[in-house]
Structure 1
Amino acid sequence: MNQERKTRGEQLIEQLLAELDPGSECYRVLATARRFKSTWVELGEELLKVSREGLYRQWGYSSFDEYCSREVRIRKPTAEKLTLAYRYLEKEEPELLARHGELKPLPDYRSIDLLRQAKEDDFPPEQYAELRKAVVEDERSHPTVRKHFREASAARRPADAEERRQLQNALAAARRLALTLKALQGIPAAQLDSVLSLISLFEERLAAGDEA
């Protein structure tokens, strides 16, 4: 890969690798992180070990989250999904986990994490089986699996679906109001700021639901 095509995170990881002993545990975890896009299972396994054994403390970090963000260059939500998805495979899908050494790639870790959530949320057996089929057997893309998961969740929690619809309507109305206020003269800045704060609140609430 040409240097100009590498991300800043990739460049930083390579700089760190150049300073480490290739035989060290720290080097091995970072090297796995560099191969993350092609082998998330290995990275999930390594990160779970780092977290369980507290190895990040030996490397000068006060927390696992700090280690992930500053050295491995992945965000906390990503690290959580990777480790939880790997733990799920260990417990629920050992046959699938054993397949990771084959040329055939495993499902997206985000789809595996949704399967984990469905298991923990006690989806009815038929809904869980349909979701598992989409992830494991049919190898559907993550956007397709996520859509399937949301539809199944909404069917189980109609109140949540109604709240989301109301939030979307409120967000649209607040955005229209903000545009109108900006076009008017003599509107106190504090009033406009209040509407903009509401917009941010609605967006955050909706984004929190999208992370599922």
Structure 2
Amino acid sequence: MPTAVEADLQKKAQSVPPGSFRHVVLSAAKRFKSTWAELGKLLVQVRDEAKFEEWGYESFEAYCLKELHIRKNTALKLTRSFSFLAKHEPPEVLKDEEFPQRAPAFEVVEVLADAADRGQLSPSEYRSLRDSIWNPEKPTNELKKEFTERFPRPAPEPPAEDVALRRLAQAARKLASELSGSRKVPKAIAERAAALADDVEELAASVTNG
């Protein structure tokens, strides 16, 4: 039995002319999981040619969400991953009729696209590992793990001092509130927690206000 999303995509596909580009994209969205590269390629065209405007949507993101049930982040990953392959592969590879079925796993290409965006993966490095990602016998999980370790994300920047203090103040206030609401916590402990929350909030405010 089709899901609600599949049923909605089917209904929309029936409402547009068969064979039209809009109908092609809707059909690809229904096959998304098995042929991500097909949908990624089409979405790049929808975005770059602003097709969504012709179809009554104010933005590419709104079109993806409302018509295809694809969230902004997913649409970004699809277009970025396909664009990565388009940049590193010969045109004839992408034009091959079997390309959507033969394309490397989305999870693997996404890791490589992220690495390329961070400047960690050069075109020559891609060529050196190309055979492994296009090999259908290579397990996707192993490849993803290998490349995630090979091209690690940089450690996140520590939060600014004022942001960190505001978070601590919120945590202190929450703890004080929970202690105050518990019948098993002595009043003296709850009062000390409330006083501590007051002090941390005051400190956070002084740092924020300079």
Asked if these proteins are the same fold (TM beyond 0.5), I'd say yes
Q: Could you tell me whether the CA contact under 8 Å between 1:131 and 1:149 is conserved in 2?
A: no
Which residue matches 1:135? Answer: 133
Q: Could you tell me whether the CA contact under 8 Å between 1:81 and 1:110 is conserved in 2?
A: no
Q: Could you tell me whether the CA contact under 8 Å between 1:41 and 1:100 is conserved in 2?
A: no
Aligned match of 2:102 in 95, 105, 118?
A: 105
Aligned match of 2:27 in 24, 31, 34?
A: 31
Which residue matches 2:37? Answer: 41
Structure ranking higher on relative contact order (CA contacts 8 Å, 6+ apart): 2
> What count of residue pairs does the alignment treat as equivalent?
174
Aligned match of 1:116 in 113, 118, 121?
A: 113
Which residue matches 2:204? Answer: none
Looking at structure 2, the residues matched to 102 and 116 of structure 1 have their Cα atoms a distance apart, in angstroms, of 18
CA, structure 1 residues 19+161, in 2 after alignment: closer, same or farther (shift >3 Å)?
closer
CA, structure 1 residues 39+162, in 2 after alignment: closer, same or farther (shift >3 Å)?
same
Looking at structure 2, the residues matched to 162 and 52 of structure 1 have their Cα atoms a distance apart, in angstroms, of 33
1:140-179 equivalences under 5 Å are: 140-141=139-140, 143-154=141-152, 157=154, 160=155
- Report the aligned-residue RMSD: 4.0
TM-score (normalised: structure 1):
0.64
Secondary structure of residue in 2 paired with 1:78: helix
Looking at structure 1, the residues matched to 56 and 32 of structure 2 have their Cα atoms a distance apart, in angstroms, of 23
* Structure 1, unaligned runs of 5 or more: 164-173, 195-212
Q: Could you tell me whether the CA contact under 8 Å between 1:43 and 1:82 is conserved in 2?
A: yes
Which residue matches 1:90? Answer: 86
The worse-fitting range, judged by mean Cα deviation, of 91-100 and 14-23 is 91-100
Looking at structure 1, the residues matched to 48 and 151 of structure 2 have their Cα atoms a distance apart, in angstroms, of 31
CA, structure 1 residues 140+134, in 2 after alignment: closer, same or farther (shift >3 Å)?
farther
More helix as a share of residues = 1
Check if 1:7 corresponds to 2:6: no
Looking at structure 2, the residues matched to 124 and 71 of structure 1 have their Cα atoms a distance apart, in angstroms, of 34
Looking at structure 2, the residues matched to 119 and 38 of structure 1 have their Cα atoms a distance apart, in angstroms, of 24
CA, structure 1 residues 86+153, in 2 after alignment: closer, same or farther (shift >3 Å)?
closer
Looking at structure 2, the residues matched to 49 and 78 of structure 1 have their Cα atoms a distance apart, in angstroms, of 16
CA, structure 1 residues 51+8, in 2 after alignment: closer, same or farther (shift >3 Å)?
same
Secondary structure of residue in 2 paired with 1:14: helix
Identical aligned residues as a percent:
33
Residue-by-residue CA offset, 1:166-207 (whole Å, 9 max, x unaligned)? xxxxxxxx8xx97xx57943659x97xx9xxxxxxxxxxxxx
Looking at structure 1, the residues matched to 151 and 85 of structure 2 have their Cα atoms a distance apart, in angstroms, of 22
CA, structure 1 residues 104+41, in 2 after alignment: closer, same or farther (shift >3 Å)?
closer
Give the drift of 1:70.
Answer: 0.4
Q: Could you tell me whether the CA contact under 8 Å between 2:108 and 2:133 is conserved in 1?
A: yes
CA, structure 1 residues 100+37, in 2 after alignment: closer, same or farther (shift >3 Å)?
farther
CA, structure 1 residues 113+121, in 2 after alignment: closer, same or farther (shift >3 Å)?
same
State the one-letter code of the partner of 1:139. K
Looking at structure 2, the residues matched to 87 and 102 of structure 1 have their Cα atoms a distance apart, in angstroms, of 14
Looking at structure 2, the residues matched to 113 and 56 of structure 1 have their Cα atoms a distance apart, in angstroms, of 24
